[in-house]
A and B are shown apart, each in its own frame.
Chain A
Amino acid sequence: MSAPPPAANAAAVGSVSGRRFLGEDQIFLLLSILIGVLAGLAVVCFRMSIDALRWIFFGSGLLPPRQRVVLVPGAVGLVVAFLVVRFFPRVRGSGVNQTKSALYIYDGYIPGSTIVGKFITSALAIGSGQSLGPEDPSLQIGAGLASLIGRRLKLSRQNLRLIAPVGAAAGLAAAFNTPIAAVLFVIEEVIGRWSAGVLGAVVLAAVSSVVVERWFLGAEPLFRTPGYSLESPGELFAYAILGVAGGLASMVFVRSIKFLRPRLRAMPRWTQYLLPAIAGVLIGLIGLRFPQVMGAGYDYMDQAMHDQYTWEVLGILAGLKILATVLSFSSGTPGGLFAPTLFIGAMVGGAVGGVERLLFPHFTGPQGAYALVGMGALFAGILRAPMTSVFLVLEVSGNYAIILPVIISNALAYLISRSLQPTPIFDLLSRQDGLDLPSLEEDREMAVLRVEDAMRAPTPQVALRLEALPPPEVLESLPGEFFLVQDRSGYWGGMTKGKLLDLASDQASDADARVQELPHLHPDHALDVAMRRIGEWPFLPVVHRADMNKLVGVVSLADILETYRKRGPALHELAEPAD
């Protein structure tokens, strides 16, 4: 992504000092609703366009006519490649990383042409049968619209940065019809932090976009799942096996993209005109025998959930979908990974459920339940958003009875995927693109240094009690000019040596016996809290949370810096693996 034009930056910066009729926070919340509505409308149009293109390309049946299966993806792939290379180079890929780039690199700037390009090229690609989904593009379209509006309204730089993820949440929520999962995903994967202001805006945008989406496309969940109830706790073991399988499948998928994508990107520029078409032809060839792998594949996921395939077919479909998606995505065709992830998950889940049913017929639930749980497992394993994966399954199915298997399976898939493929897919993609975006998963996992790691035990040399001051000659001999002193009420404050000497020699009045108020710390405070609070003070008291009069330690700036130096991440930990 190129840098934003100076005018946009200048406008954004310039508005910081401007006074407004409404506060910028209020405007931000109001805008969140409007962005939600706008993103919802855009996503509705996007989804209708994909369907309309599909009808044009393949007719109204689920199974495409054989003569078009290879021809259409190939021919449309050429058109998409031309549009991407010539007019919309920023629309390659899924859109999640582009939104993160807008947040972390480009001050929330997403060009208007990206919205148009993403809409057109993704609709063409998905409608023509490329193995990609509409959710990530919806996310980027939402983020782009939000960015555009934010720029027009000359929001401050900080709010302009945040407005893109708000739009992203709206786009994703409308695409999946899942407001909770969308909010969680944007918080978990894009913004990476919870704060009341951001959360409020993201929730408002997600809810308003879902309301719009439901208004136009109906309120039913994405899948109609068969009834499920956990018959015996032993069944959970079967779902744990699914989690393991999901973790392994995730690893295969991510490693395949890790292997193929940089190699295709390294090819000469002219090949970029052909790669989507070649990927399309290859997918078309697969589609001759297994048309299920073409497009987003929601109807086939629904079928898998209704026991329409044997476990062998489900296994084949999972494998072929991995192949087809790796081809489509690595070729630079615009489109998302969410739907293929769910597809692979449904097929892996159904296959594992089918095998388990063969082996332990009294031990396993319906195959549809496995397909559903499998979706969550692959979502957790590939996209590495464990919380989102749980809520996504609940929301797309409207089935809350399945939560226990989902949690178990997702957790296992996530852990296995993490141990076998440490770099999450979005981080991997951003590094392949030469961007150093923050890895929110790595941030989450990074150990937090706390005050207790830096503090020293309070010694009489630094901590004194007003009621039991040592004689002046002893005080005189103590090193340092500033001391922590506990006053008669038990409060720990600060006092200079001179004042203490006056008090010790009874030359000071009671009014002079008041200690200076100091910021207090607790042992569990993060060390950067101590860093921010210490200011000019030579040291700060660390007191017990349940008894503020109890001094448990003392921390100085030198202690803090020394702890960071000794226990902060090593250089090799900060260095990111090259892909």
Chain B
Amino acid sequence: MTSRLNIIRREHLLLAGLIVVIAAFFSLTTFAARAYHRKQEHFGEAWYQRGEQALKQSRPSEAVEDFRNALAYSHDNDLYRLRLAQALMADHRPQEARSHLLGLWEKEPGDGTINLELARLAAMWGDTRQAIRYYHAALYGVWPDEPMAHRWQIRFELSEYLLQRNTVQDTKEAQAELVALAAELPPQDAAAQNRLGTLLLLAGLNARALAVFRAALAAQPNLMPALKGASEAAFRMGEYQTARHYLLPIVAQDPKDQSSLEMLNLCELVLKLDPFARGLTAREQAHRALHDFQLALARAQKCAVPAAEPTSRPASQTAPPADDLSSLLAQANSRKSRVSERALAGNPDVLESTMDLVFKLEKASSPCGPAGLEDKALGLLAQQSEAAR
């Protein structure tokens, strides 16, 4: 009995001793592990900061090494891995970046930043379908800070990407994104409104562009790009009075801006030559129509003459089909004797048919080379008339 008790006591003692040893070892390891992790965190953070610094100073290859070092101390740190991927992209190493991003995406498929970076990669590789998928995932993804601002930026980026592709389908998709963006953007953010207006112009949504530029100008009245955008949008829409309204301050501010100046002159000429402008008396209408007729006839005649003098025209410019121009010229010449201010003022139908002939002459003469400003203005009026019809 005594010997059995001794055995039991000995076993208990040995096991208890072992547990005490393990407990002591555990405490020591805990102490050492804390110090170890502190050191790791310190190294990781130091390398991360170095990487951030290098990235800010546009030294992406150094940043890559720094972020790799940081990651070595914290394999599971998604921020370090993301920054490494971004540094790799900045260092033009998309394949390597993609691999890290895919790893992150698997872990956080709804993360906005990761999806955005993957979208950029897919866009870089021309994989439109994937790019759009990732852009949309980024758009509706999780953004811990300023989610709306991120979403606006993504819509901008996606729209720019789609417009760059310049296909009908992509342009349509870009238009949809931009319309959605127009509804989301705060009107007081002039810079964002201006950027949106520019993209709307590129997407061919001129009316929306004009409205957006107006909003930008309401927030910041003298914002030059918005003024230019608004004038461009109005010009494209044939609203020359509006375009002139926006062009005047531009030219006043920068008289050397040739393109704006030319556009302004063109607008003023259009406004001056348009016989159908509102508020004109019949006499004024007739006066303008007669002037337009003479202009168009002169250009057509000039255009027709070089057929006999081929050397006077650049080789690249071919004469319009002789039949069209010559028949139109014949019509114009026969009408020339009958067209007068009085005849035009007394009969709106004659005025209208005369202007119709003017527009046809301008159109037929267009292949003859660069027109003068007045002819350009007539061309614009012709376009407007055609569009109205």
Are A and B a genuine interacting pair, yes or no? yes
Interface of A toward B, CB cutoff 8 Å? 18-22, 27, 30, 34, 37-38, 41-42, 44-45, 48, 51-52, 55, 60-63, 149, 152-153, 216-218, 220, 224-227, 299, 302-303, 305-308, 366-368
Complex Cα gap A302–B81 (Å): 12
Is A226 within 8 A of B103, CB to CB?
yes
Complex Cα gap A484–B4 (Å): 50
What residues of A have a CB within 8 angstroms of the CB of B47 in the complex? 60-61
Is A227 within 8 A of B26, CB to CB?
no
Known: A226-B99, A368-B99. A27 touches B11 (CB 8 A): yes
B105 at the interface (CB under 8 A from A): yes
Complex Cα gap A556–B268 (Å): 123
Which among B32, B43, B73, B76 is the interface contact of A224 at CB below 8 angstroms?
A: B76
Most buried by B among A34, A55, A60: A60
CB B310 to nearest CB in A, in angstroms, measures: 56
Is B29 within 8 A of A224, CB to CB?
no
* Interchain Cβ contacts under 8 Å between A and B, 28 examples: A20-B8, A21-B12, A27-B11, A34-B19, A34-B22, A38-B21, A41-B22, A45-B29, A48-B32, A51-B36, A51-B40, A55-B39, A60-B46, A61-B69, A63-B65, A152-B14, A152-B18, A153-B11, A153-B18, A224-B103, A227-B105, A227-B106, A299-B68, A306-B100, A307-B96, A307-B98, A366-B99, A367-B99
- With A37-B22, A41-B22, A227-B102 known, 15 other A-B pairs at CB within 8 A are A19-B4, A20-B7, A21-B12, A34-B18, A38-B22, A52-B39, A60-B47, A63-B65, A216-B30, A217-B33, A224-B76, A225-B103, A306-B96, A366-B102, A368-B99
CB B38 to nearest CB in A, in angstroms, measures: 12
What residues of A have a CB within 8 angstroms of the CB of B73 in the complex? 60
Complex Cα gap A21–B5 (Å): 9
Which among A19, A52, A55 is the interface contact of B7 at CB below 8 angstroms?
A: A19
Across the interface, name the chain B residue whose C-beta is closest to A47.
Answer: B36
What residues of A have a CB within 8 angstroms of the CB of B46 in the complex? 60
What residues of A have a CB within 8 angstroms of the CB of B18 in the complex? 34, 149, 152-153
Say which size band chain B's interface belongs to: 35 or more
Is A153 within 8 A of B103, CB to CB?
no
Complex Cα gap A42–B76 (Å): 24
B15 at the interface (CB under 8 A from A): yes
Across the interface, name the chain B residue whose C-beta is closest to A22.
Answer: B11
CB A85 to nearest CB in B, in angstroms, measures: 29
Which among A41, A63, A220, A303 is the interface contact of B25 at CB below 8 angstroms?
A: A41
Complex Cα gap A217–B30 (Å): 11
Is B76 within 8 A of A220, CB to CB?
yes
B353 at the interface (CB under 8 A from A): no
CB A175 to nearest CB in B, in angstroms, measures: 15
Is B15 within 8 A of A30, CB to CB?
yes
What residues of A have a CB within 8 angstroms of the CB of B8 in the complex? 20-21
Complex Cα gap A60–B39 (Å): 10
B336 at the interface (CB under 8 A from A): no
Across the interface, name the chain B residue whose C-beta is closest to A48.
Answer: B36
- What total count of A-B pairs have CB within 8 Å? 100
Is A302 within 8 A of B75, CB to CB?
yes
What residues of A have a CB within 8 angstroms of the CB of B328 in the complex? none
Which among B14, B72, B81 is the interface contact of A62 at CB below 8 angstroms?
A: B72
B384 at the interface (CB under 8 A from A): no
Complex Cα gap A220–B73 (Å): 13
What residues of B have a CB within 8 angstroms of the CB of A226 in the complex? 99-100, 102-103, 106
B95 at the interface (CB under 8 A from A): yes
What residues of B have a CB within 8 angstroms of the CB of A368 in the complex? 99
Complex Cα gap A366–B102 (Å): 11
Complex Cα gap A37–B24 (Å): 12
Task: Give the residues from 67 to 115 in chain B that come closer than 8 angstroms, CB to CB, to chain A.
Answer: 68-69, 72-73, 75-76, 81, 95-96, 98-100, 102-103, 105-106
What residues of A have a CB within 8 angstroms of the CB of B21 in the complex? 38
CB B308 to nearest CB in A, in angstroms, measures: 63
What residues of B have a CB within 8 angstroms of the CB of A220 in the complex? 75-76
Complex Cα gap A533–B12 (Å): 41
CB B87 to nearest CB in A, in angstroms, measures: 12
CB B326 to nearest CB in A, in angstroms, measures: 61
Across the interface, name the chain A residue whose C-beta is closest to B19.
Answer: A34
Is A307 within 8 A of B76, CB to CB?
no
Is B11 within 8 A of A20, CB to CB?
yes
Across the interface, name the chain B residue whose C-beta is closest to A218.
Answer: B76
What residues of B have a CB within 8 angstroms of the CB of A48 in the complex? 32-33, 36
What residues of B have a CB within 8 angstroms of the CB of A299 in the complex? 68, 72
Across the interface, name the chain B residue whose C-beta is closest to A27.
Answer: B11
Complex Cα gap A220–B96 (Å): 22
What residues of A have a CB within 8 angstroms of the CB of B72 in the complex? 62, 299
Is B99 within 8 A of A306, CB to CB?
yes
CB B96 to nearest CB in A, in angstroms, measures: 5
Complex Cα gap A307–B40 (Å): 25
What residues of B have a CB within 8 angstroms of the CB of A20 in the complex? 7-8, 11
What residues of B have a CB within 8 angstroms of the CB of A149 in the complex? 18
Is B25 within 8 A of A38, CB to CB?
yes
Task: Give the residues from 278 to 304 in chain B that come closer than 8 angstroms, CB to CB, to chain A.
Answer: none
What residues of A have a CB within 8 angstroms of the CB of B40 in the complex? 51
Is B69 within 8 A of A60, CB to CB?
yes
Across the interface, name the chain B residue whose C-beta is closest to A399.
Answer: B106
What residues of B have a CB within 8 angstroms of the CB of A366 in the complex? 99, 102
What residues of A have a CB within 8 angstroms of the CB of B30 in the complex? 216
Is A62 within 8 A of B68, CB to CB?
yes
Complex Cα gap A44–B30 (Å): 10
Across the interface, name the chain B residue whose C-beta is closest to A219.
Answer: B76
Is A227 within 8 A of B29, CB to CB?
no
What residues of B have a CB within 8 angstroms of the CB of A224 in the complex? 75-76, 81, 103
